[in-house]
Amino acid sequence: MENKLSDLLNMLYGFYFQEIDLNLNRLIYLLDKLGNPHKSLPPILHVAGTNGKGSTVAFCRSILEAEGCKVHAYTSPHLIQFNERIRLNGKLIDDELLYQTLKDIVQINDSNPITFFEATTAAAFVLFSKIPADVLLLETGLGGRLDATNVIESPLVSIITPISLDHQEFLGNTLSKIAFEKSGIIKPNCPVVISKQSPEVIEVLKKEAILKESPYYVYGNDWDLDILAPYPPPNLKGDHQRMNAATALKALSVCFNLKPESIHKGLPSAEWPGRLQCIQEGAHEIWIDGAHNPGGAETLTQELKKWSSGKPIIGILGMKERKDARQFIKILAPYLNKVIFIPLRENDKTGKSYSPDDLLVISKEENLKASKANNHQDALAQIQNKYPQSLTIITGSLFLMGEVLYPKCFKSRAGV
């Protein structure tokens, strides 16, 4: 079954056109042929933003499950296997059900143009509509206004996590333009919880909420981190994860009357691998973080500033070509003693990566000491040899996080 599922997913990547054309008409046509499953979903918490979406969903899921709720979740991307994107009542979808559902989608779509994300979102909606649950946590893939998930009509609450520059080729080249696209998940008369944002982003989001007569709750005005004060600290590391946890808790408080014990249990139990995670302690300390855009780099530097052990901080970095590597490196450079650039495992499905030589040019412009290696294992060996007592941060891509965390699984399951 694993091979059959892998072949089907690879076919979906290759058979359907891969250029992203933000347009809901294709998906609406397919959903209509499927009986409009998006109109029969459990109550929805809809999440958009540039960074922190997945972590916010993880906190929501952990607290709701502690409350005794049956929770579906749809997130992206995955670290190792596609199954990670679809959780049915808290469990990853099994290969057999995923394969059969995707196969049905392919047959019903009948070779009409569609993107991979649209096809898989349709499959997820079919599953979510058939299997009962109390709540669906629904994360956007790209943007909001024309994102495939945005065919839903009336969520319990919309959640907008921090917005920064990313995917400018699709969403616009300014924060205001990107915020407008993200604001598309705000629905008439449905509340929206807005996480920490720049003033120009808040202005756009508030304007959209007012236009749609949607109650809005803005960080810094209507709520803040004090919402976490009565509870144990979140399981995930970093100040940004406290923000994500607070955002999740505020959103849940808007639409649920949670028992305090559920929050006490859920916050320290949330898991979301590859986000500021320590994978080796000791003299050579190794951390990983899936930051892959300038906003993520800014957040990461807030943690690097705290690393005052006196040890050199060495970065290992690999990035996809669609990302702003120049700005990413510029932000991190002041906090790194050296960086080792690596190529990402080539995978047509996720796009090409920058070559280490391309990244070396950027590091030279930033006066950052740098070298290259064939992969993260070779880079770690270099560091262990030259800097046996150091702090290493591996970053630049969520796909790289999957390879680091699950090296044995990655080669066999990366296509699934």
Higher pLDDT, 234 or 310: 234
Q: Cβ distance 234 to 270 under 8 Å?
A: yes
Per-residue model confidence (pLDDT) at position 385: 93
d(CA 39, CA 369): 54
Output the six-digit token pair for 129. Answer: 């509509």
Positive/negative CA dihedral, 87, 91, 95, 98: negative
Which pLDDT tens digit goes with each residue over 156-215? 999 999 998 655 555 666 889 999 999 999 999 999 999 999 999 999 999 999 999 999
Beta strands 338-341 and 277-280: pairing type? unpaired
Choice between 409 and 233, residue whose per-residue pLDDT is larger: 233
Rounded to whole angstroms, the Cα distance separating 245 from 252 reads 11
The full set of domains in the chain, from first to last, is: 2-269 (3.40.1190.10), 277-413 (3.90.190.20)
Rounded to whole angstroms, the Cα distance separating 404 from 217 reads 38
Banded model confidence at residue 17, pLDDT cuts 50, 70, 90 = low
Distance CA 232, CA 228 (A): 8
How far, in Å, are 35, 42, 72, 213 from residue 132 at the CA level? 17, 7, 9, 30
Average pLDDT in the 246-269 region?
97
100 or 402, which is more confident: 100
Model pLDDT, residue 170: 58
Per-residue confidence (pLDDT) for residue 172, from 0 to 100: 60
pLDDT of residue 308: 67
Share of the chain above pLDDT 90, in %: 75
pLDDT on residue 343: 92
> Mind listing the pLDDT tens digit for each residue in 72-131?
999 998 988 899 999 999 999 999 999 999 999 999 999 888 889 999 999 999 999 999
Residue 224: CB atoms within 10 Å = 14
pLDDT at 148 over 90: yes
Question: What's the pLDDT score for residue 80?
Answer: 85
Q: What average pLDDT does the structure give for the chain?
A: 91
In this predicted structure, what is the pLDDT of residue 412? 41
Rounded to whole angstroms, how far apart are CA atoms 95 and 198?
A: 42
Write down the pLDDT at residue 410. Answer: 47
Q: What is the dihedral of CA 194, 198, 203, 209, to 10 degrees?
A: -10
